[in-house]
């Protein structure tokens, strides 16, 4: 047992607790077997029980080690895949059968025992990807958020991880995404929690196949040039008897105070003031990065860590804040290229700033304010939009305060909120026109992008974890053309560096052209880099605007790059086919203007390459 790791574990600064605790296949005294180690300081007695001894609690009793609170036992001749638990006798004499908190694999629910598995068995061929990956601040990021069990139906005998490798990767490549974000793949008992109520923080969920199959999928993603982000839930855990609750008879992982421990989801908050809990969670994050080569971790429900119970009126939870700062700093120190992403609905400042500046050390924060304001605007009758014009412009008033990620995630497609297309105002045809307009705006706006699976199909059915996406929709021209639009949008976004290179540079890369035209409900702004401009113009009304004047940053010729109303996207076909020539007219600090045709609810992108001969 490594004394340095044990010391770091108790000090709350360990990223390798999984190398000490859990079930490890080893050879001791010339015999092959498994070394079981568990942290349970309040236990009176612990036995290892499992499929190898008919679950008898009186055969394999663990020894309390010299290290505080740690029990360990070597058992020879236990095969990989064997199921096991810990039988813990508490101080009051009661027995608790507990899954291993550090188990690397588990039985398929509803069974709950841990299984012996050696993470050293995994093989990789993604060396080039691992050497060149970055945190993507100056690279394109269009993330496809996926619930592994609900993208496509998969017969049990085929195994979902294998299906994702064979079918999801080609789909993501074809449609232009750069990353896949997977809703939690840690072990969890209740399908309806989608993985956000975990029971096994180191165990790849067995419901979709083996750890080897999952790793093969990740490896294939990297070889295809696709990054992998995984959701991680260091906030709370399930109350199920086999799990962490009162693990050794004491509140070892949860807060001892019931008011602090209980959550709105019927789960228990981790006691993030406790050093051993911090090491447990930080090591879990490190485990996924180290063992499975994950490129980014999206941390769920950060606001519930920032504030006690997620309630700002109760004040900041300083212990949890310190935990997040420490976790992010230490993970970045060990894995400089990985991304730490905060799903944070609070207004807490400096989430993506360094801890030396009072920040939490995350790389990105989900811009849930942008999401809420934007969707509320698109739900409005266009007659009233001019009185809510600031809902679109407001995001840029605070955007530079953090490194934001624009998200239209699974949370916006459930619980009666309706899907993206169904949220739009108006008739069936109007909804499609406006959701295309929405995506033209989203992809031109600074910040990395994330969309939930099904958004690209313009699905009208909310997310249901027991059903696959409505692939049959692609039989209908309007949905099929929408997928073509979404695909072209992704590719055009990726092909033009000005759309992503300076997402986080305040003095260059983005500028409003006219943010104040509330009377017409038209917005215009541009993105730029050293070589090009892309001008975005959005018509938020069902009114055709012919020859509409728009200022531009440079004289010359401007070419329409993308128009949401092109006929190939099932639009009305009123586009700007000819290259547009500027004319001189001073307006809002710009010396040149062009006249564009704006179809009802059209979003257009216009392109100009810098350095071309100017017209005066």
- Cβ contact 399:442 at 8 Å: no
Q: How confident is the model at residue 597 (pLDDT cuts 50, 70, 90)?
A: very high
The CA-atom distances, in angstroms, between 139 and each of 341, 349, 352, 610 are 16, 25, 18, 21
Among residues 231, 248, 300, 363, the one annotated as catalytic is 300
Whether the CB-CB separation of 550 and 540 falls below 8 Å is answered with no
Choice among 145, 165, 276, 343 that is catalytic: 343
Summarize the confidence of residues 121-140 as an average pLDDT. Answer: 97
Q: Is 530 a catalytic residue?
A: no
* pLDDT tens digits along 180-217: 999 999 999 999 999 999 999 999 999 999 999 999 99
d(CA 83, CA 583): 76
Mean pLDDT of 309-318: 94
% of residues, the chain, pLDDT over 90: 94
**514 is annotated as an active-site residue:** no
pLDDT in tens, 549-581: 999 999 999 999 999 999 999 999 999 999 999
**Under CATH, what is the fold of the domain 510-609?**
Immunoglobulin-like (2.60.40)
pLDDT at 447: 98
Q: How far apart are CA 29 and CA 486, in angstroms?
A: 61
Comparing 3-119 with 141-499, is the CATH topology the same?
Answer: no
Write the CB contacts of 471 (distance below 8 Å, at least 6 apart in sequence).
152, 457
Mean pLDDT score, 287-307: 98
What's the full length of the chain, in residues?
A: 616
pLDDT band at 67 (very low <50, low <70, confident <90, very high): confident
Q: Do 371 and 407 contact (CB within 8 A), yes or no?
A: yes
Compute the distance between CA of residue 551 and CA of residue 599 in angstroms, rounded to an integer.
18
pLDDT grade, residue 158 (50/70/90)? low
Q: Per-domain residue ranges for the chain?
A: 3-119, 141-499, 510-609
**Would you place residue 97 in the very low, low, confident or very high pLDDT band (cuts 50, 70, 90)?**
very high
| CA proximity to 433, closest of 500, 368, 366, 478 | 478
Predicted local confidence at residue 153, as pLDDT: 87
Phi/psi at 502 (nearest 5 deg)? -120, 45
* Residue 352, pLDDT above cutoff 90: yes
State how far the Cα of 269 lies from the Cα of 175, in Å rounded to an integer. Answer: 39
The predicted pLDDT at position 567 comes to 96
pTM value? 0.95
Q: Mean pLDDT over residues 428-447, rounded?
A: 98
Residue 171 clears pLDDT 80, i.e. is over it: yes
Confidence tier at 433 by pLDDT (50, 70, 90): very high
Q: Are 599 and 572 in contact (CB under 8 A)?
A: yes
Return the CATH fold of 141-499: TIM Barrel (3.20.20)
Say which residues have a Cβ less than 8 Å from residue 14's Cβ, sequence separation at least 6.
Answer: 5, 8, 279, 282, 283
- Say what the pLDDT of residue 54 is: 95
pLDDT digits (tens, 9 = 90+) for 237-287: 999 999 999 999 999 999 999 889 999 999 999 999 999 999 999 999 999
Instruction: Tell me the C-alpha distance between 471 and 591, whole Å.
Output: 49
CA 123 vs. chain centroid, Å, equals 25
Q: For residue 615, what pLDDT is reported? A: 43
Mean pLDDT of the chain: 96
Q: Report helix angle 428-444 to 477-495, nearest 10.
A: 10
pLDDT confidence band for 310 (50 / 70 / 90): very high
* Dist CA 386 CA 394 (whole Å): 14
pLDDT at residue number 416: 87
Strand arrangement of the beta sheet that strand 583-587 belongs to: 545-552, 590-598, 583-587
CATH topology of domain 3-119: Immunoglobulin-like (2.60.40)
Among left, alpha and beta (phi > 0; psi -120 to 50; other), residue 578 is beta
pLDDT tens-digit readout, 468-480: 999 999 999 999 9
Q: How large is the average pLDDT for residues 341-358?
A: 95
Cα Rg, the chain, nearest whole Å: 27
Q: What is the mean pLDDT of residues 406-420?
A: 93
Q: Taking a C-beta distance cutoff of 8 angstroms, is the pair 605, 562 a contact?
A: yes
pLDDT at 15: 98
Do 183 and 148 contact (CB within 8 A), yes or no? yes
Question: What pLDDT score does 612 carry?
Answer: 60
Q: For the residues of 140-160, what is the DSSP string, one character each?
A: --EEEEE-TTTSS---TTT-H
């Amino acid at each position: 047992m490594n004394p340095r790791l044990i010391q770091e574990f108790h000090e709350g600064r360990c990223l390798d607790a999984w190398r000490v605790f859990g079930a490890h296949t080893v050879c001791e005294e010339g015999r092959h077997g498994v070394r079981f180690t568990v942290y349970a300081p309040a236990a009176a007695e612990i036995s290892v029980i499992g499929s190898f001894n008919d679950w008898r609690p009186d055969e394999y009793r663990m020894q309390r080690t010299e290290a505080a609170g740690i029990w360990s036992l070597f058992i020879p001749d236990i095969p990989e895949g064997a199921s096991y638990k810990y039988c813990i006798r508490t101080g009051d004499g009661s027995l608790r059968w507990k899954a291993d908190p550090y188990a690397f694999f588990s039985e398929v629910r509803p069974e709950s025992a841990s299984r012996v598995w050696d993470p050293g068995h995994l093989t990789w061929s993604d060396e080039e990807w691992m050497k060149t990956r970055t945190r993507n601040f100056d690279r394109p990021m269009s993330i496809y958020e996926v619930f592994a069990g609900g993208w496509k139906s998969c017969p049990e005998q085929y195994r979902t991880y294998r299906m994702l490798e064979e079918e999801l990767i080609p789909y993501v490549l074809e449609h232009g995404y750069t990353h896949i974000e997977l809703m939690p793949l840690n072990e969890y008992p209740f399908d309806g929690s989608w993985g956000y109520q975990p029971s096994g923080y180191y165990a790849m969920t067995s419901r979709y196949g083996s750890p080897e199959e999952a790793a093969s999928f990740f490896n294939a993603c990297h070889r295809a040039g696709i990054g992998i982000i995984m959701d991680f839930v260091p906030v709370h855990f399930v109350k199920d008897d086999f799990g962490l609750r009162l693990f050794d008879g004491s509140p070892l992982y949860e807060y001892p105070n019931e008011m602090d421990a209980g959550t709105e989801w019927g789960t228990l908050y981790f006691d993030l003031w406790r050093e051993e809990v911090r090491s447990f969670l930080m090591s879990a994050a490190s485990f996924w990065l180290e063992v499975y080569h994950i490129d980014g971790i999206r941390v769920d429900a950060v606001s519930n860590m920032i504030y006690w119970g997620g309630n700002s009126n109760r004040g900041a939870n300083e212990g949890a804040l310190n935990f997040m700062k420490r976790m992010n700093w230490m993970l970045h120190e060990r894995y400089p290229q990985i991304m730490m992403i905060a799903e944070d609905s609070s207004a807490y400042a400096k989430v993506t700033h360094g801890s030396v500046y009072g920040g939490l050390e995350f790389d990105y924060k989900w811009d849930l304010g942008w999401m809420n304001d934007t969707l509320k605007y698109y739900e409005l009758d266009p007659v009233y939009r001019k009185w809510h014009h600031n809902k679109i412009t407001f995001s840029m008033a605070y955007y530079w305060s953090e490194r934001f990620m624009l998200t239209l995630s699974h949370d916006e497609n459930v619980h009666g909120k309706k899907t993206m297309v169904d949220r739009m105002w108006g008739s069936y045809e109007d909804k499609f026109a406006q959701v295309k307009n929405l995506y033209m705006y989203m992809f031109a706006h600074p910040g990395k992008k994330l969309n939930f699976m099904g958004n690209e199909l313009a699905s009208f059915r909310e997310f249901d974890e027991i059903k696959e996406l409505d692939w049959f929709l692609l039989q209908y021209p309007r949905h099929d053309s929408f997928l073509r639009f979404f695909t072209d949008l992704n590719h055009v976004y990726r092909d033009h560096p000005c759309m992503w290179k300076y997402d986080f540079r305040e003095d260059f890369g983005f500028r409003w052209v006219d943010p104040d035209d509330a009377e017409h409900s038209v917005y215009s702004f541009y993105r730029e880099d050293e070589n090009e401009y892309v001008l975005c113009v959005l018509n938020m009304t069902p009114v055709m605007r012919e020859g509409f004047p728009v200022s531009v940053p440079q004289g010359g010729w401007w070419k329409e790059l993308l128009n949401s109303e092109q006929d190939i996207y099932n639009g009305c076909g009123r586009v700007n086919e000819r290259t547009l020539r500027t004319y001189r007219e001073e307006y809002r600090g710009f010396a040149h203007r062009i006249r564009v045709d704006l179809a009802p609810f059209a979003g257009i992108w216009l392109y100009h390459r810098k350095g071309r001969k100017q017209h005066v």
